[in-house]
Chain A
Amino acid sequence: MAFFRDAKPAAALAAVLAGLPWASNDFTAYQIALFLVYGMAAQGVALCWGRLGFLSLGHALFFGLGAYLSGGVLRAASNEALWYLLLPLAIAAPALLAYLIARVVFARSTRSGPYFSLITLALTMLGFLAAQQWSGLTGGFNGMADIPELPGTSRYETLYWVIAACAVGSTLALSLLVARPIGVVWEAIAQNEDRLQLLGYATDRIKAMAFAGSALLTSLAGALFAAHQGIVTPQAMGFVLSTELVIWAAVGGKASALGPLLGATIVGYASAELREQLPYWEAAVATLFIGVVLFLPDGVAGLMRRGQAPRRASAGQAKPVRRPFAPAASLALAEVQTGQAGVRILDGLSLGLQGPGIRCIIGPNGAGKTSMFNLITGRLPLRGGNIRLNGHDIGGQPAWRVARQGIGRKMQVPSVFPALSVRENLGLALWAGRAHGTDLLCLATLGWQTPLLTDILGQFQALSEHLDNPAGNLAQGHRQALELAMTLLPEPGIVLLDEPCAGLSPAETHHMIQAIQSLVLRIGAAALLIEHDMSAVDALGGEVYVLHQGRLLEQGPLAQIQASPAVRAIYAGGRK
């Protein structure tokens, strides 16, 4: 059922493309085939931009590479067997290059901002230059000409069906992927990559894989372009085509599988018509682009989807999933130092915890409480000392690797994925550490359950009432509950909770404390909790650590801490 719902755009496209040659003529079909080729290339751009939130300004590099390599194979392959062997390699090679580029860039900085766009822009300009200069291979400025037709097809007749089938296939593949858990992960990267890393997702690798997938699609389009045109010139790898791909994705709708095909066809057709009638037709196309950006942020496809909220539904039985981490871990910080922007924040802090239970951290603002959590979870650099989890050094490791070893973290200001539903937010936490192999591609994963999830939804009524609402619509306190749930659902051995009761009334604080106690006990974790409210610290019991000026000032039961003259001199604590 879900398959047929998700396959609707591809089915509609197939129906239109199947009828087109009968309703028009061979030339129109030939022209539409070219727009479809461009549209598929734009689908690659839209996958990264519309789903994962990073914009490639250099996708023509992969289009051109796919076109040159496939054109070269078609010209060089002397028999059909060799052609079958080499053409897939020619299409896959640009995807491999894209993966390597993305791994190198995202390994240095996971941010998806303009740096990545500029690097891809530089690469496509380099590709254009190489295509022009390397005339022995590419034909230089005049291009690689006399590319033979795809075996078994005719350029002006049957090739249309090959291209149409590829366009339907790519639309189907994208629609199905977006509706699956991997689609949720992609959207989560665009919305809050830091949070996703704290759940244990290696976002740099996920982005690199998605970028490679998008390059594969664009490279396939390039291969079809070579067969369709019979010639490939450096323009197929140039900056102009790169920006056109972005424009087509924007006009059609970057968040839709069908959108880029629509965009390429609409803009392509409009350009062809306007070119004949207007001397400055480029200005008209530019105006169309500006108009769409201003008034139709979701493109033409967004108009068609208006009023229909995209929903993901699981298929099959909900599967009780196993616990990913061993309970009762130990964590030890020895003489750790860290700083930021020239300010030393932690200055020789030593602190250890072993076995299940909740410990509280108190201290004045600026004592280094949150920074300690940031250091443990790889968000601040380790300048000295060491951090050991179950005896293994984890100092300086990235956030996702720390999370995968069983450390869960709740942020001071609740950090969730605002445009995803509460259900999807919980799902992301549930899949963390549990989803392996093809799990993220299966609809059934959307329906995964654990007894802990049932327990959490029972304790936080607001979450179960708003399961299908965007998490960004939740009030601050309910977001606290959601992020707590997301922190605990992977069932980590160490739980770091940064002011989980901030923004809660005394009664809500009481409820939250009870929930934390029962849930942490249930998963058998060792928890560290930052809190200013002494009634909450009192209710939680357990050891209390006092931090001051980046060091551990005192440690012991609350009564002992409150009696300590050293503590009283700097911090008294309060009650709501």
Chain B
Amino acid sequence: MSLTFTNIVCGYGDTLVVRGVSGQVQAGRALAIVGRNGVGKSTLLKGLAGLLPLAQGQLIWGGRDITGSALHTRVAQGMAYTPQDNVVFAELSVAENLWLHLNDRDADRYTELFEQFPLLARRQSQRSGSLSGGERKLLAFTRTLGLRPKLALLDEPTEGVQPENIDRMAHLIRQRKRTGVSFIIVEQNLEFVSAFADDVIVLDHGEQVLQGALADLGRERIERHLVV
């Protein structure tokens, strides 16, 4: 299922942060949204997820207009969203975090994910609040993929995660892409972006200043827009 977003304008109250951003992610592809801090990346992702109302713009997902639909409706239809922080329920155990939103107990859901992140498998009975920051990020990432979404929106999933685990995250994203899952990921780590992304949108001051296939744009061209 492809998601096409056209002329997205959104922000907080009267302050419009994202101004006229358009793009598309097709089934089995991954779109990275990059840019300096404060340019509107997380705001755009919230707009695409339905967490922020759009002042303007249209979202077409799988041929259907979902512009006004709520996040929970989109999740029921196969969209998943992981915010940048506050990503786990600290008082619940790791296992409860992984299963509380699921109706089934299909053990296979997490088999492959646990192979990549065995520490989560070992710590299933541990309270999530006692995990380290990086481990919480891994838990949130695992939980999102455990939903078996058709489209996953991830906001800086690698923040605080050790490099070996970042490689495993990229591996899992590539693997899921092969099964038709799409990803839109806000990310600052260009090594990670290079490892998973097919397409890139570079934002600056809320507007897209560069867009295209990662292979065509090249890392240097993207980096030029990230200079402080």
The answer to whether A574 and B38 touch across the interface, beta carbons within 8 angstroms, is no
**What A residues does B156 contact at CB under 8 A?**
476, 503
Complex Cα distance A370/B129, Å?
Answer: 13
The answer to whether A343 and B126 touch across the interface, beta carbons within 8 angstroms, is yes
Which one of A345, A572, A576 contacts B189 once the chains associate, using CB atoms below 8 Å? A576
Q: Tell me which of A361-369, A386-394, A450-458 binds B.
A: A361-369
Complex Cα distance A475/B17, Å?
Answer: 11
> B126, B133, B138, B227: which has the most chain A beta carbons within 10 Å?
B133
**What B residues does A576 contact at CB under 8 A?**
188-191
Closest partner residue, chain A, to B228 (CB atom): A511
Q: Given A371-B132, A503-B37, A511-B228, A476 and B42 touching (CB < 8 A)?
A: yes
Question: In angstroms, how far is the closest chain A Cβ from the Cβ of B112?
Answer: 19
Q: Does A571 contact B (CB under 8 A)?
A: yes
**What A residues does B162 contact at CB under 8 A?**
363-365, 532, 571, 573-574
Q: Given A476-B156, A506-B190, A370 and B132 touching (CB < 8 A)?
A: yes
> B15, B132, B135: which has the most chain A beta carbons within 10 Å?
B132
What would be 5 A-B contacts, judged by CB atoms less than 8 Å apart? A343-B126, A365-B132, A506-B188, A575-B191, A576-B191
The answer to whether A474 and B163 touch across the interface, beta carbons within 8 angstroms, is no
The answer to whether B130 and A343 touch across the interface, beta carbons within 8 angstroms, is yes
The answer to whether B126 and A477 touch across the interface, beta carbons within 8 angstroms, is no
| Interface residues as binary, A158-187 with B (CB distance below 8 Å gives 1, 0 otherwise) | 000000000000000000000000000000
Q: Does A266 contact B (CB under 8 A)?
A: no
Q: Does A204 contact B (CB under 8 A)?
A: no
Minimum-distance CB pairs A-B, first 4: A477-B37, A574-B163, A365-B134, A475-B38
Q: Does A341 contact B (CB under 8 A)?
A: yes
Question: In angstroms, how far is the closest chain A Cβ from the Cβ of B165?
Answer: 6
| Interface residues as binary, A188-219 with B (CB distance below 8 Å gives 1, 0 otherwise) | 00000000000000000000000000000000
Q: Does A473 contact B (CB under 8 A)?
A: yes
Q: Does A508 contact B (CB under 8 A)?
A: yes
A-B contact sample (16 more), CB < 8 A, given A534-B163, A574-B191: A341-B129, A365-B135, A365-B161, A370-B132, A412-B160, A462-B38, A475-B38, A476-B37, A477-B37, A480-B37, A499-B159, A502-B160, A504-B37, A505-B190, A506-B226, A507-B228
Which one of B34, B37, B163 contacts A573 once the chains associate, using CB atoms below 8 Å? B163
The answer to whether A572 and B37 touch across the interface, beta carbons within 8 angstroms, is no
The answer to whether A499 and B133 touch across the interface, beta carbons within 8 angstroms, is yes
| Interface residues as binary, A81-94 with B (CB distance below 8 Å gives 1, 0 otherwise) | 00000000000000
Which one of B130, B135, B226 contacts A507 once the chains associate, using CB atoms below 8 Å? B226
The answer to whether B163 and A475 touch across the interface, beta carbons within 8 angstroms, is no
Which one of A413, A507, A571 contacts B133 once the chains associate, using CB atoms below 8 Å? A413
Q: Given A364-B162, A365-B119, A574-B166, A507 and B227 touching (CB < 8 A)?
A: yes
The answer to whether A508 and B188 touch across the interface, beta carbons within 8 angstroms, is yes
Which residues between 155 and 212 of chain B lie within 8 Å of chain A, taking CB atoms? 156, 159-167, 188-191
> B35, B129, B188: which has the most chain A beta carbons within 10 Å?
B188
The answer to whether A341 and B127 touch across the interface, beta carbons within 8 angstroms, is yes
Closest partner residue, chain B, to A498 (CB atom): B133
Which residues between 455 and 507 of chain A lie within 8 Å of chain B, taking CB atoms? 462, 473-478, 480, 498-499, 502-507
The answer to whether A365 and B165 touch across the interface, beta carbons within 8 angstroms, is yes
Closest partner residue, chain A, to B222 (CB atom): A505
> A341, A364, A370: which has the most chain B beta carbons within 10 Å?
A364
Complex Cα distance A571/B161, Å?
Answer: 12
Complex Cα distance A334/B22, Å?
Answer: 56
Question: In angstroms, how far is the closest chain A Cβ from the Cβ of B63?
Answer: 34
**What A residues does B226 contact at CB under 8 A?**
505-508
The answer to whether A532 and B127 touch across the interface, beta carbons within 8 angstroms, is no
**What A residues does B6 contact at CB under 8 A?**
none
Complex Cα distance A371/B135, Å?
Answer: 13
**What B residues does A462 contact at CB under 8 A?**
37-38
Which one of B133, B166, B228 contacts A508 once the chains associate, using CB atoms below 8 Å? B228
The answer to whether B38 and A366 touch across the interface, beta carbons within 8 angstroms, is no
Complex Cα distance A506/B188, Å?
Answer: 7
The answer to whether B12 and A473 touch across the interface, beta carbons within 8 angstroms, is yes
The answer to whether B135 and A503 touch across the interface, beta carbons within 8 angstroms, is no
Q: Does B66 contact A (CB under 8 A)?
A: no
Q: Does B85 contact A (CB under 8 A)?
A: yes
Which residues between 134 and 156 of chain B lie within 8 Å of chain A, taking CB atoms? 134-135, 138, 156
Question: In angstroms, how far is the closest chain B Cβ from the Cβ of A331?
Answer: 21
Q: Does B109 contact A (CB under 8 A)?
A: no
**What A residues does B188 contact at CB under 8 A?**
477, 503-506, 508, 576
Question: In angstroms, how far is the closest chain B Cβ from the Cβ of A363?
Answer: 8
Q: Does B58 contact A (CB under 8 A)?
A: no
Q: Does B65 contact A (CB under 8 A)?
A: no
Complex Cα distance A91/B117, Å?
Answer: 63
**What A residues does B223 contact at CB under 8 A?**
506-507
**What B residues does A506 contact at CB under 8 A?**
188, 190, 223, 226
Question: In angstroms, how far is the closest chain B Cβ from the Cβ of A415?
Answer: 10
Complex Cα distance A576/B158, Å?
Answer: 11
Question: In angstroms, how far is the closest chain A Cβ from the Cβ of B209?
Answer: 14
Which residues between 529 and 554 of chain A lie within 8 Å of chain B, taking CB atoms? 532, 534
**What A residues does B126 contact at CB under 8 A?**
341, 343
Question: In angstroms, how far is the closest chain B Cβ from the Cβ of A456?
Answer: 15
Closest partner residue, chain A, to B137 (CB atom): A365
Which residues between 89 and 133 of chain B lie within 8 Å of chain A, taking CB atoms? 119, 126-127, 129-133
Complex Cα distance A169/B130, Å?
Answer: 49
Complex Cα distance A575/B162, Å?
Answer: 11
**What A residues does B133 contact at CB under 8 A?**
365, 370, 412-413, 498-499
The answer to whether A572 and B190 touch across the interface, beta carbons within 8 angstroms, is no
Q: Given A341-B130, A365-B134, A507-B227, A532 and B163 touching (CB < 8 A)?
A: yes
Q: Does A340 contact B (CB under 8 A)?
A: yes
**What B residues does A369 contact at CB under 8 A?**
132
| Interface residues as binary, A352-377 with B (CB distance below 8 Å gives 1, 0 otherwise) | 00000000000111111111000000
Which residues between 337 and 353 of chain A lie within 8 Å of chain B, taking CB atoms? 340-341, 343, 345
Q: Does B24 contact A (CB under 8 A)?
A: no
**What A residues does B160 contact at CB under 8 A?**
365, 412, 499, 502, 532
Closest partner residue, chain A, to B188 (CB atom): A505
Closest partner residue, chain B, to A362 (CB atom): B162
Question: In angstroms, how far is the closest chain A Cβ from the Cβ of B13?
Answer: 10
Question: In angstroms, how far is the closest chain A Cβ from the Cβ of B222?
Answer: 10
Question: In angstroms, how far is the closest chain B Cβ from the Cβ of A196?
Answer: 20
Complex Cα distance A505/B192, Å?
Answer: 12
Complex Cα distance A573/B167, Å?
Answer: 11
The answer to whether A366 and B166 touch across the interface, beta carbons within 8 angstroms, is no
Closest partner residue, chain B, to A499 (CB atom): B160
**What B residues does A340 contact at CB under 8 A?**
127, 129-130
Which residues between 500 and 533 of chain A lie within 8 Å of chain B, taking CB atoms? 502-508, 510-511, 532
**What A residues does B159 contact at CB under 8 A?**
499, 502-503
The answer to whether B127 and A365 touch across the interface, beta carbons within 8 angstroms, is no
